[in-house]
Amino acid sequence: MFTPQRSTSAAMPSPLTVPVPSERTLLIVEDDKSFLQRLARAMEGRGFVVTTAESVAEGLLQVEKAAPAFAVVDMRLGDGNGLDVISAMKKRRPEARAIILTGYGNIATAVNAVKLGAVDYMAKPVDADDVAAALLAAENRKIEPPENPMSADRVRWEHIQRIYELCNRNVSETARRLNMHRRTLQRILAKRAPK
């Protein structure tokens, strides 16, 4: 049986030894508006009092108003790095717990985010149950891998759909941005989502 170890140093506790706050205030900072709204609704359904922001500047403003107990922050935002929001939150509320969301190719930076105060990082798209489990994970425990994670085909399909929506459903522009042949993209878009 796993028994959590407590740090004996008098220094500030590491992110993984900070107890889970009982207060359920949550700040979500994400510049993909539809994803932000879906995640906010899902987290409210799991008992969190959610505040949202679509940029680093808005996130910093929300932290200044009232530092939340929890945060889910996208690493890359239109006006900067989501780590700035986590850093400001940890200064105002050291016991706060945050998760960094990453896109493709940001895993090394995400590992660094954990060192800077985030309790975990997750690759997008994320499931609200996994987010809640990571935020509320007991001290010194990593969350269990998801029972039914998305397949690689599904993750790829979700990514293509997201870029397609961001390009206002313009197939040519989406194909260009994904470095994909237009006909190949059209075939993918015509298929159902993989399991």
Say what the pLDDT of residue 102 is. Answer: 78
Average pLDDT over residues 21-49: 91
Average pLDDT over residues 90-105: 82
> What is the band of 125 on the pLDDT scale with cuts at 50, 70, 90?
confident
Say what the pLDDT of residue 16 is. Answer: 43
CB 154 within 8 A of CB 144: no
Q: What angle separates helix 33-44 from helix 128-135, to the nearest 10 degrees?
A: 60
CB 68 within 8 A of CB 98: no
Q: From edge to edge, which strands make up the β-sheet containing 25-29?
A: 49-53, 25-29, 70-74, 97-102, 120-123
pLDDT exceeds 70 at position 140: no
Say what the pLDDT of residue 176 is. Answer: 92
pLDDT exceeds 80 at position 136: yes
Report all structural domains of the chain as residue ranges with CATH numbers, in order of start: 21-135 (3.40.50.2300), 152-190 (1.10.10.60)
* Per-residue DSSP letter, 147: S
Say what the pLDDT of residue 188 is. Answer: 87
Q: Which residues pair with 102 in a beta bridge?
A: 123
Say what the pLDDT of residue 13 is. Answer: 41
CB 53 within 8 A of CB 84: no
pTM here? Answer: 0.62
Q: In the predicted model, what is the mean pLDDT of the chain?
A: 79
Residue with tokens 């009232």: 66
Cis, peptide link before residue 146, omega less than 30° from 0: no
Average pLDDT over residues 49-75: 93
Q: Which of 181, 177, 156 is nearest to 166 (CA)?
A: 177
